[in-house]
Amino acid sequence: MFADFFFVFFSSLTALFLLRKFAKKVGLVDQPNARKHHNGSIPLVGGIAICITLAQFLYYNPQIFDDSGLYIFCISTLTIVGALDDKYDVSFKLRMLLQGALSICMIYFAGLELHNLGNMIGFGKIDLGLFGYLVTVLAVIGAINAFNMVDGIDGLLGGLSIVTFGGLGIILTFDNQPNLAYLCFVIIFAIIPYILLNLGAFGRRRKVFMGDAGSMLIGFTVIWMLLVATQDGIIPPLRPVTALWLIAVPLMDMAAIMIRRVRRGDSPFKPDREHLHHIFQRMGFNSVQTLIAICSIATAFAAFGIYGEFIEIPEYLMFWLFIICFFIYLTFLSNVWKISAFINRKLNSQKA
């Protein structure tokens, strides 16, 4: 087990060092602009390195989960298109069309679909029937774009991914699903080298970014694993409502930002600087403090989801608590400047 983890870590780290030089030669780099405040040209190779590492691991361990070949094909396709998007700025409509097509492949060839939501509302078990196909496609597109949207500061996408895969791995371990749990931890060890380089552990000049290739790969992998855990088998190891808590921050941030954009009359896909990490930074937090704060929030959500799963808190109660948390989150983001001004006035009055 530990030999595999070391192999995956070393393979991912080696791929990053080799790919970053190649990326600079071909121009696969991120340049600073009005929305991206970083120094210099940063290679966009994190996702490519993780894809190569996971594909290599699964090629030698195809028995670890069903349809590993299909999964490799899907993440490879997403990574290639994501890399093209990183370099040439592919239309978001084309990207979503591809994401929808791959979700259909997943449904048709792997038999993975959202057909049961459990007793999420409180009026009995929800079977989606034929609507399951449409809901699955929307869930895949939503998960991919949720993780894409949170990739805004150093370490955040990697940190939130580790929270999700770590939480899922813990649940699967205790549910006696060793292969799937093992794969979750393998993915974490494939991500860690990226986080180290992204945060400058090997020097700022060796810094890399994940790129759309990586965020799409991670989002797709998350939804694939959650579908296997919540829908596969007679008695799935995970209730669907628990999945919401494992991806709470990316999901809430995506939903909240889209609601706010639509309220302004903008496209929900129009880029801006109003994500949660931007809010924290405008309130005076530096990048490291923002990273720690958001990952701590995500960990708290995931821990509560795992706790609810283990002690079997009713699904409908977990769902409505999640909805309440989301509306608190949305209200906070919508009134953050009023809240910040009120706190500052109180602090200043106490000092006086």
Spatial distance between the Cα atoms of 296 and 97, rounded to a whole number of angstroms:
34
Residue among 269, 302, 303 nearest 146 (CA): 269
CA angle 181, 182, 183 (to 5 degrees): 90
Q: What angle do CA 243, 246, 249 make, to 5 degrees?
A: 120
Percentages of the chain per state (helix, strand, coil), in multiples of 5: 75, 5, 25
For residue 50, the one-letter residue type is I
In angstroms, the CA 90 to CA 347 distance is 47
Q: Is the pTM of this model over 0.85?
A: yes
Contacts of 282 (CB under 8 A, 6+ apart): none
Distance of CA 182 to the CA centre of its chain: 19
Q: 């991806």: which residue's tokens? A: 247
**Residue indicated by tokens 């869930």:** 139
Q: What is the pLDDT along the chain (352 residues), one digit of tens a residue?
A: 788 899 999 999 999 999 999 998 998 998 765 555 545 689 999 999 999 999 999 999 998 888 999 999 999 999 999 999 988 888 888 999 999 999 999 999 998 888 888 888 888 888 888 899 999 999 999 999 999 988 889 999 999 999 999 999 999 998 888 889 999 999 999 999 999 999 988 888 889 999 999 999 999 999 999 998 887 665 677 899 999 999 999 999 999 888 888 888 777 777 777 788 888 887 778 889 999 999 999 999 999 999 999 999 999 999 999 999 999 988 887 777 776 677 667 666 665 5
Q: What sign results for the dihedral spanned by CA atoms 308, 314, 318, 319?
A: positive
Q: In this structure, what DSSP letter does residue 64 have?
A: G
Residue 327, classed as helix, strand or coil, is helix
